[in-house]
Structure 1
Amino acid sequence: MVPWMILPHTIVQTVLLSFSGLYYKRGNIHPKRMKTFVLLLVTAVLVPQGSNARDLTLISDTHYDPLYGQAKGYGACTAPSPPLGRPGCDTPPGLLESLCTDIKNNARHHTILTGDVQRHKFNVSGLSISDTFGPICAKLNEALAVNEEKYPMVSVAIGNNDLVPNYYLNISEENKYLKQEADVMVSYKVLLETESNQFKKCGYYSRELSSKLRVIVLNTIAWCYCNQAHIPDTVKDPCGQMQFLRDQLRNAKGAGAKVIIISHVPPYINVWSVLKNKKFRSIDKDMYWKPWFQKEYNELMKDYETTVALQFFGHVHLFSLQALENGVKSIIIPAVTPVYSNHPNYLIATVDDTTMKPTTIRQRFLENGTWHEGTHLEDTFGNLSDSASLHKSIRQLLTDDESWNKFLNHRAGGRAVRPLFPHKVCDTWCRHVVVCSMFKSTYEEIQECVNPGKGNHDRSPRGLALVTLLLFVLFWRTLF
């Protein structure tokens, strides 16, 4: 959003009309300049008096690697490498600098980072938390407008790679890495001291951005099958996080405030795993969250759907979203790191400052050293604020090839230059797995959507061979 759009309506009109009249009187009617003034005038007239909007910069999975291009760099980049990164490697300093410059030129107000701040295999890198979290916090703060508010302008969630070891959240003891991350974020004014006290316990907290908007930051590793520090199923509310969420939502509703929820691992099915194995295996292998946490969480989203405006997650690296028939829409923010061959990219959501519903969501992506404006999400999915319309648009992806191809561009980070699927080609079954996960939530619902009335179909070569053998035996028996 350009700064003049947030000026009072009458002032904008007066200033623009005066300037356009001045140009006309002086005879300086250069075609390009006149076109610009006409566009500004039209916009000024169309903006309702007193309307305001808020820009949210949405980034995820930065996986910042200060050792990129050095002997201890992650992946293939252990020798001098392209300064803006390459597939197979994590985010280098040059890419972080380029990203934040583009954010500075295109966004304002607030940045949301949904986790995996630091590089893969951090635990064997020899790096400190200050080496990874420090530059990220500093650069993201610099990229935004001067902060005249009392609250931090950057909200950060914790991802699995921000836990050491990876995916390890032990709720029975103090986590020294969470403490270090909190201390670094406080030092860069990304986290308040009062927030850090809560964050150090299990990596979750909440903050008020204004009297009208609050952000709740969750650590969903606590609810995830992926947690390598075993939490017994008898623990009904690890770290008390679900009760914390319930209390925060109730307080926000009572205050008439809207809420944005951010975290890392989404309450989705692991689409990549299902596609890779060519079948549904079991709920613990295919779903990210344990079902009882997913059920309780989704019920809260239904109960507070007029309070929670949006949910943002990361982890998957590829863009997706979910619009259930009842509840709050959620978006997977795609990755900055190009490690898995996506374009480095991020989103900018412009939301109404009263309802906090999105009016537009832009995708910015890096290609051949230059940042580009991708297709806006509303050009693919229609009205982003209308859940029923969004739900219908998602269903159309099953049969509408034009919409599907637009979605693939979003999924790949702005432009689908290569097929980002485990087996390269995405056939009809693959397409159904992807799309059904966008409007169905439970494991059983998704399977039924993909294979109506047929249950779990094994599409692996071994499974297909067994089916073929069975049919051959049945055919052979009919001959005798």
Structure 2
Amino acid sequence: EIVTIIGQTPLSSAEVCGLVVSDCSGPYDPTKFWKVTLPNTPKPPVTPPKPPKPGAPVSRVLFLSDVHVDLLYKPGANAYCGEYLCCRANSPAGSPKPAGKWGDYRYCDTPLWTMENLLQHLAEKQSEFDYAIWTGDIPPHNIWNQSRADQLNALNIVSDMILKYLNIPIYPSLGNHESAPVNSFPPPFITGKDSISWLYDALAETWTHWTPVSTKRNIEKGAFYSVLVRPGLRLISINTNYCYNLNWWLLLNTTDPAGQLQWLTQQLQQAEDKGEKVHIIGHIPPGIDCLSAWSWNYYRIIDRYESTVAAQFFGHTHRDHFELFYDMKNRTRPTNIAYIGPSVTTYKYMNPGYRVYEIDGNYPESSMQLVNQQTYIMNLTEANLTDKPTWKLEYDTKEAYNMSSMTPADWDKFVQRLEKDTELFKTFYR
């Protein structure tokens, strides 16, 4: 694929370097390549969000990401085998500490029975959740030895297991590991044997177990969609593989792949016109892993629709952190937040985790913004020692960080506190 792409790209070597690496010699201007057209409708006056009144309804949203289920995981196998993925029957021998039953902190992914144990745990408490967000990366990390059939098999097995245990609305997005080869997501104009339709058609069939049939056309085109969760709240799932700097197909044409950001702008304008709030979900957070031109355009969109976009949710990094957005004209004024949640996989040196987001609930003047979040983990060491996996609360964000609310202004104050408070920084870093 790479040979084909490099042979056909219209970009010079310097442009390719600047686009992908971003620190090549000479200046690189992401605005040079393309710019999403924003509507002529003036940006409405910004009213800073207010925390909900005591006793206001709260919606609880389950967040799952980066499950990376390994169907060939084998307890007792080598967990440090010198390859990109270990803990498998065919892993090279040599580790004095073999893989545990429920997973391993080293170069290993999630056993199928660990995934099932998590879903059994969530099934017992699913009445607490209004809906779930599932932000992709289903297959394991054996990226050198995957076929299209392997990826579709993983998609079907994990999706069927989720359907078996969770009887709540689920809104998925696409990870970078779902394709074969990994990170390979050709835009819609690529047809024939290199087309991505083998995956998107399968996603359209699977995802419409949870999303309206009306989403099928956009999923088949580009694996993105928009749904009305309830009156006043819209959820938009974007395909961030069209920003990913390891998706080499973008070198053929970096201009708004699949027209997704222009479509996103249209969706947000329609939501603004209707008085809807919007949650955006995706796999890869905007920023360091995205092409600069894409991120710059995405920031412009968030900046324009800061009063409509109430929250953003991403995965991909396997870590627990956030991104804070600032006014593009006044860089000291925080405008929005992207929450990046933990992974189910332990890869690498992680406890399996999931998150629950508490959202300002369903009532006429709801801000639909995040009001709190709780992160849950399974202590893998304990699970392997006792053979009794337990999923428990790791921390409550407002309690752990002593935050009165979770508006962009509050997160900006938190960042300032991190700069001065060493103990708080250590708590956050852990």
- TM-score w.r.t. the length of structure 2 is 0.72
2:182 pairs with 1:166 = yes
Contact 2:250 2:257 in 1 (8 A): no
Secondary structure at 1:397's aligned position in 2?
helix
2:263 pairs with 1:244 = yes
Deviation at 1:130, TM superposition (A): 4.5
Which residue of 109, 133, 144 maps to 2:130? 109
Q: Give distance in 1, aligned partners of 2:217 and 2:144.
A: 25
Deviation at 1:81, TM superposition (A): 4.7
Which residue of 76, 79, 99 maps to 2:118? 99
Contact 1:83 1:94 in 2 (8 A): no
What residue is the counterpart of 1:347 in the other structure?
355
TM alignment of 1:303-382, pairs within 5 A: 303-326=304-327, 327-353=335-361, 354-367=366-379, 368-369=382-383, 370-381=390-401, 382=403
Describe the superposition over 1:80-119 as per-residue Cα deviations: whole angstroms up to 9, x where unpaired: 9533211221111111112112323444111111121222
Q: Give distance in 1, aligned partners of 2:411 and 2:99.
A: 42
> Match of 2:374, as an amino acid?
R
Contact 1:383 1:390 in 2 (8 A): no
Secondary structure at 1:55's aligned position in 2?
strand
**CA gap 1:324/1:342 in 2 versus in 1, 3 angstroms:** same
Deviation at 1:348, TM superposition (A): 0.2
Secondary structure at 2:310's aligned position in 1?
strand
Where do 5+ consecutive residues of structure 1 fail to align?
Answer: 1-45, 148-152, 270-287, 410-480
Question: Mean Cα displacement is larger for which, 125-134 or 337-346?
Answer: 125-134
Contact 1:121 1:166 in 2 (8 A): no
Contact 1:85 1:338 in 2 (8 A): yes
TM alignment of 1:308-457, pairs within 5 A: 308-326=309-327, 327-353=335-361, 354-367=366-379, 368-369=382-383, 370-381=390-401, 382-409=403-430
Q: Give distance in 2, aligned partners of 1:290 and 1:307.
A: 25
Q: Give distance in 1, aligned partners of 2:257 and 2:348.
A: 32
Q: Give distance in 2, aligned partners of 1:341 and 1:199.
A: 34
Q: Give distance in 1, aligned partners of 2:357 and 2:218.
A: 28
> Match of 2:375, as an amino acid?
Q
- Higher RCO structure, 1 or 2 (CA under 8 Å, sep 6+): 2
Which residue of 54, 57, 61 maps to 2:62? 57
Where do 5+ consecutive residues of structure 2 fail to align?
Answer: 1-52, 90-97, 328-334, 384-389
Identity %: 25
Question: Mean Cα displacement is larger for which, 251-260 or 71-80?
Answer: 71-80
> Match of 2:87, as an amino acid?
C
Contact 2:78 2:86 in 1 (8 A): no
Q: Give distance in 2, aligned partners of 1:131 and 1:365.
A: 27
Which residue of 248, 261, 266 maps to 2:280? 261
**CA gap 1:179/1:384 in 2 versus in 1, 3 angstroms:** farther
> Match of 1:167, as an amino acid?
N
Describe the superposition over 1:140-191 as per-residue Cα deviations: whole angstroms up to 9, x where unpaired: 34444x55xxxxx1111111101221111111223112222322333xx134
Q: Give distance in 2, aligned partners of 1:143 and 1:108.
A: 13
* CA-atom RMSD in angstroms: 2.5
**Count of residues in Structure 1 that have an aligned counterpart in Structure 2:** 335
Q: Give distance in 1, aligned partners of 2:216 and 2:103.
A: 33
Q: Give distance in 1, aligned partners of 2:357 and 2:119.
A: 16
Contact 2:151 2:179 in 1 (8 A): no
**CA gap 1:336/1:246 in 2 versus in 1, 3 angstroms:** same
Q: Give distance in 2, aligned partners of 1:123 and 1:76.
A: 13
Q: Give distance in 2, aligned partners of 1:408 and 1:132.
A: 33
> Match of 1:392, as an amino acid?
K
Secondary structure at 2:63's aligned position in 1?
strand
Q: Which has the larger radius of gyration?
A: 1
Greater per-residue strand proportion: 2
> Match of 2:265, as an amino acid?
R
**CA gap 1:384/1:310 in 2 versus in 1, 3 angstroms:** farther
Deviation at 1:121, TM superposition (A): 2.9
What residue is the counterpart of 1:118 in the other structure?
139
What residue is the counterpart of 2:49 in the other structure?
none
TM alignment of 1:15-34, pairs within 5 A: none
Secondary structure at 2:62's aligned position in 1?
strand
2:235 pairs with 1:204 = no
What residue is the counterpart of 1:85 in the other structure?
103
Q: Give distance in 2, aligned partners of 1:292 and 1:197.
A: 27
> Match of 2:367, as an amino acid?
T
- TM-score w.r.t. the length of structure 1 is 0.65
Contact 1:261 1:310 in 2 (8 A): yes
Secondary structure at 1:165's aligned position in 2?
coil
Greater per-residue helix proportion: 1
Contact 1:182 1:191 in 2 (8 A): no
What residue is the counterpart of 2:24 in the other structure?
none
Q: Give distance in 2, aligned partners of 1:312 and 1:105.
A: 24
